[in-house]
Structures are given as C-alpha cells and as structure tokens.
Copies of this chain bind each other. A is one copy, B any other.
Amino acid sequence: MKTVGNISEMTSISKNEIIKGKKIGFVPTMGALHEGHLSLVREARLDNDVTVTSIFVNPIQFGPNEDFNKYPRSIEHDSELLRNENIDYLFLPDARQMYGNNFETYIDLKNLPAHLCGLKREGHFQGVATVVAKLFNIVMPHTAYFGQKDYQQALIIKRMIADLNFSIDIKIMPIVRENTGLALSSRNQYLTQTQKKEASAIYLALKLGEKLILGGENRSSVVINNVKEFILANIEDAKIDYVCASDPENLSDIDKIENGVLLAAAVYVGSTRLIDNILIRR
C-alpha cells in the first residue's frame, strides 16, 4: 500500500493505471474506519485491479454547529486496517490543497437534498457532492463504493454521476451492524456504553415498522408513530430528528405505502446524531 498526499501525484498514478488498462475501484471515506468501510474496500478489491481508498474529513459538508473539529481522526489505525486489506493506494489529500484560497465552485442538486438529512443539515449534500466530484476527477475510478447507511448520500451521488456524465459505476453495499443491530458508524465512538446499548433500539424500531408494513399496514403515519414511540420508550436520552417513510427513488414522503418504501430515521442519542434505514419491498 502506497500512501499518496499530493493531488497531482494521485492523478498521474491513476492515469498510468488507466493507460495500462487496469480497472480502478475507489472507496472515499472520512476515516475512523469500521467494518462498514472495510466491506466496501473488500468489494472494491474483488471487482478491480487497483483499489484506492481516500481518507478526508471534508470541511464543507459540516455545518457551523456540527462536529467537524471533534470528528474522530485515527489515520495510523486506519492505515493499518487498509494495509491489512491489501489495498494499493491510500489517498490522504490535505484540506489546503483541496480548497485553495480562490475556491468557489459547488455542485448543487435541486430535489434529492430537499428531504431527510438534507432538511436538517443545510449545505451538507452540496459539500458531499462537491468533494465526491473532486475525488472522482482526481482518482478517475471505474467503480466507486458507498454504504447504504447513507442512503440519501448514495442516491445523490448516483444522480450526480448520471447528470454530469461521469463514466463511473456506483455500487451500494449493505449496512454492517453490531450484533445488537446498531448500524456501524464512526460517530458511535461518541456514545457511552449505555447509550450504545440503547441506541440499537433505532434499528429494532425500524424492524418493527417493517413488520407492520409487511403485515399489511399501509398508513405511513401509523408506522412512523410506532417507530418513534419504540425509540423514545427504549432510549433514555433520545431526541428524534426525523422518522420518514420515503419513496426509495426520489425520497418524497409516502402517505400510503403501496410498493417499495425507505424507512429512515435520524435520532440524537445525547448529543450524537445517528442515522439508519431499511429498504422495504412489499
């Protein structure tokens, strides 16, 4: 595994690989890696000749009151994990090189961000789309890997790829969970032991919602209320940011559940915001 810090060095490496006819798989991350990230890395290794993972805590996707400064950073440990996965390149761009003094170009989507997390985190998906476009242009992968936990993010990247004609395939991998059901997240590190144990109720609540839907309940409001009540009854420190039943393609709210539905939740456990979702096909 070679670690690359310089943007133009990363690009020439990629260009060389492409000219040799190699397929590049790319896993963009913010580090603090867990088994969720590693599942993406392993898939990228299986599908491609060359695997690139980037670690970059992207300042422009954090709001002014969010956790950019305290976001967990553990480059040495991450580096060790990636070396064990036998990836080819670890790309660690530095923020001054990514966003120079005159930086002013942003990528905006008009519809997909106007739902779920996008309503709660202003500018978040603009920051995500912009940094991912930059990373795509630097790394020039054939396939990029994202996790389903950030379902809205994955959908936005898919849309951006199609709209801006990037020649990149996207592969969305399933959510990796603790044995308790809690979705793995770098932010789980913020939780106390008790909070972490209780936080599994987010997934259990979504599963309860799924059970209701598969049992024939088609009123979103009933499902959503049950999910919310379960969360509040089982997590002492919970504050619900949202629980939504959404169209899996365009993320608009669904009132009457007929076909597929994305059941998605964002919950503060103490001051830690956690997200989770399940995709239900009836």
Contacts and interface: CB of A to CB of B under 8 A. Distances in A.
A111 B107 contact: no
B104 A105 contact: no
Number of copies: 2
A92 to B, nearest CB: 15
B104 A107 contact: no
Nearest to A140: B167
B11 A102 contact: no
A102 B159 contact: yes
A165 interface: yes
A81 to B, nearest CB: 26
A137 B164 contact: yes
Interface stretch (A15-23, A35-43, A172-180, A210-218): A15-23
Chain A interface size, as a band, is 20 to 34
Nearest to A98: B165
Interface in A1-24: 7, 11, 15, 18-19, 21
Contacts of A110: 104-106
Interface string A21-36: 1000000000000000
A14 to B, nearest CB: 9
Given A19-B18, A19-B19, A19-B21, A165 B105 contact: no
Interface of A: 7, 11, 15, 18-19, 21, 100, 102-112, 129-130, 133-134, 137-138, 140, 159-160, 162-167, 250
